[in-house]
């Protein structure tokens, strides 16, 4: 079916008015054809990305509030922190617990072990004392 669609898109596009919405849709599809075929061939890839969209939605909704954050470097720091918190949430971690634990451990963690503090498969909380 994909081969038939590809043939239709590549040969039938001459019947479409240049610059029309249909022409733009055909060009958009052909531009991303390799990705579409990869998705169909593998079958394990998600067809869309709601987890990523849900993770960035709060940031997008507050964008105007942060327009005057103070400086470019402050904005970059904030972006990094939000990215880490979104990763914690995506990995089913309590972001406050992860952040608190990480901030306690950061000063004594060696550079080569920093990946162990990232909110993913490798992160393990410190035992309660």
Tens-place pLDDT, residues 101-124: 989 988 998 999 888 888 887 788
Whether 26 contacts 15, CB under 8 Å: no
Encoded tokens for 70: 């103070």
Encoded tokens for 46: 């998600």
31 pLDDT higher than 90: yes
Q: pLDDT tier at 59 (50, 70, 90 boundaries)?
A: confident
Encoded tokens for 96: 């406050």
Whether 69 contacts 90, CB under 8 Å: no
Indicate whether this model's pTM tops 0.75. no
Q: pLDDT tier at 129 (50, 70, 90 boundaries)?
A: low
The CA distance from 29 to 101, in Å, is 46
The CA distance from 119 to 105, in Å, is 13
Do 25 and 55 lie in one domain? The reply is: no
Do 108 and 69 lie in one domain? The reply is: yes
Do 94 and 57 lie in one domain? The reply is: yes
What pLDDT, on the 0 to 100 scale, is given for residue 51? Answer: 80
Residue 124's nearest CA partner among 95, 102, 108, 96 is 102
Domain that holds residue 90: 50-117
Whether residue 128 lies inside any domain: the answer is: no
Encoded tokens for 88: 């914690």
Do 67 and 112 lie in one domain? The reply is: yes
Q: Give Dmax (Cα) for the chain.
A: 73
Do 24 and 80 lie in one domain? The reply is: no
């Amino acid at each position: 079916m994909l081969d038939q669609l590809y043939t239709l898109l590549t040969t039938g596009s001459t019947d479409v008015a240049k610059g029309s919405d249909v022409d733009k849709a055909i060009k958009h599809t052909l531009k991303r054809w390799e990705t579409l075929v990869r998705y169909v061939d593998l079958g394990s890839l998600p067809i869309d990305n709601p987890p990523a969209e849900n993770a960035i939605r709060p940031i997008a909704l507050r964008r105007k509030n942060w327009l005057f954050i103070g400086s470019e470097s402050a904005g970059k720091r904030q972006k990094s922190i939000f990215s880490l918190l979104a990763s914690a949430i995506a990995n089913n971690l309590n972001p406050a617990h992860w952040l608190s634990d990480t901030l306690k451990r950061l000063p004594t963690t060696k550079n080569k072990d920093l990946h162990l503090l990232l909110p993913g498969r490798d992160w393990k909380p410190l035992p309660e004392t």
